[in-house]
Structure 1
Amino acid sequence: MQDRAEETRKVVLKAAAHLFFEQGYAATSISDISERSGRTSGAIYFHYTNKEHLALAVVNAHFATWPAMIAHHEAASEPALAKLVRLSFTVARAFRDDVLVRAGARLWAERRSIAVEMPPPFVDWIATVEGMLDRACAEGDLAPHAEPSRDAPTLVAAFFGLHTVSDALDDRVLIEDRLANFWLLLLPGLQADPAPQALLARARRPLPANA
């Protein structure tokens, strides 16, 4: 019985994510989600109470994507700056390909029309980037003028600004190429011994699951 309930929650959450991403919060109804998921409205209300809480569940699923992904990259046996660049490409692919991630981002952008408190964005990303820059500095790979606490918020802002532009121009189809250009611009100012092309050649390859 518990397995069936969990399966219903997952199916409903995935259907809701598709619809919230495709149509937006206001244009999506519980009836739409019921039709897409093949579950009754009663089952949806039983598990999620209302549309607001279902939207919050999608946003929470979006945020839950990142800790394991970050931990996997941080555990890799490569320099911290390479880990940071590789992580950025993994995150970019998730925003392009993962409907829960994309739906969570859209719902957070529409948060003022949703009567539920959403978790704050960006704070954890800034802390993660600052930590990686600190380790790059300790490894001697960061330029002397770089300051992790100053530069981390700027990198995060620029990264997500790049996503906004890519989403508007080409639905993120070209996000990896745009991100490569982003790093080609920034790495010469971050690396102690600038070699952006070499770092990018390694970091654009996805990290193996067992790395």
Structure 2
Amino acid sequence: MQIGNYCSQRRESRTRLLPPPPRPPQPHRTVSDQISAKGLSMKQQERSSRSRKAILEAAAEEFAARGYAATNLYDIVAHTSLSKGALYAHFPSKSHLATALTEKFQRTWDELLRQAADPSRPPLAALRDLTLGLIEILGSDACFTAGLRLTWDEAHAQGRPPTVQSNLLDTLTGLIRDAQRGGGIDAGQDPELLGILLLGLLIGVHHTTARQNGHMAAERVRRLWDMLAPIMLPAARPSRPEPR
């Protein structure tokens, strides 16, 4: 055997026999340490949630007042005590903000229409509650108002009628028909025209009042219902004199 090969084999043998180096000791974490770490994580999550909510509310105010095109991120940041970096940590762009608001709006919108279509409710009461509920939320919830405007503006920019408008009109007209079948609304009235009338009243009250004063807007819708009673409600219609 050659001396070089013998020495090499001895080194390999010694290497195989050496035990692995010991791992460095891990710091002992007590139960209180684990609770503190968990508490810190929860506080960070709460802080992050508050920041996200503040950004969304600030963006909603801007989008509702200016629309998507005229709103910029600097104006949104100016409404909060946060930095622009904090905004980007939650929303990488203006379009991400708009998407978050429209998705939030859509969930609330779908729930309002679902409640109105509940067959267990009297249709006339559901119709009145839907109109009042919409005008109240438009005057009190900036995120809902912004989501509605963003959805509306996008449809007009694409040259198509807003889906929310057709959905609302269909719901109003359907409730009117149901109320007519149940005797709550005069069956001689055109349900589609009444639906268009209610839709137009809601849009008009929102644009003239709800943005400034939600309570006043709701009161105006109540008064408009009183004005519509002679037209819609069969019991309230004046009797016609019999022909001689």
Q: Same fold (TM over 0.5)?
A: yes
Residues 135 and 210, structure 2, Cα contact 8 Å, conserved in 1:
no
Distance 1:140 1:23, change over 3 A: closer
Distance 1:108 1:10, change over 3 A: same
- Counterpart in the other structure of 2:169: 126
Deviation at 1:139, TM superposition (A): 1.3
Deviation at 1:175, TM superposition (A): 0.9
Bigger shift: residues 10-19 or 126-135: 10-19
Pairwise CA RMSD of aligned residues? 3.7
Residues 111 and 118, structure 1, Cα contact 8 Å, conserved in 2:
no
- Counterpart in the other structure of 1:174: 216
Corresponding residue SS for 1:143: coil
Letter in 1 for 2:227: L
Establish whether residue 103 from structure 1 lines up as the match of residue 166 from structure 2. Answer: no
Corresponding residue SS for 1:174: helix
Corresponding residue SS for 1:193: helix
Letter in 2 for 1:158: L
Establish whether residue 185 from structure 1 lines up as the match of residue 216 from structure 2. Answer: no
Deviation at 1:35, TM superposition (A): 5.1
Aligned counterpart for 1:135 among listed residues 175, 178, 182: 178
Establish whether residue 65 from structure 1 lines up as the match of residue 113 from structure 2. Answer: no
Letter in 2 for 1:190: M
Letter in 1 for 2:127: L
Structure 1 residue runs of 5 or longer lacking an equivalent are 196-211
Distance 1:62 1:184, change over 3 A: same
Corresponding residue SS for 2:95: helix
- Counterpart in the other structure of 2:124: 81
- Matched-pair identity in %: 26
Q: TM-score, normalized by length of structure 2?
A: 0.62
Post-superposition CA distance 1:22-58 (Å, at most 9, x none)? 5654554323434545555455446544213422432
Residues 63 and 150, structure 2, Cα contact 8 Å, conserved in 1:
yes
Q: Which one has more relative contact order, counting CA pairs under 8 Å at least 6 apart? A: 1
Q: TM-score, normalized by length of structure 1?
A: 0.69
- Work out the number of aligned pairs and report it: 193
Q: Distance in 2 between matches of 1:10 and 1:138?
A: 45
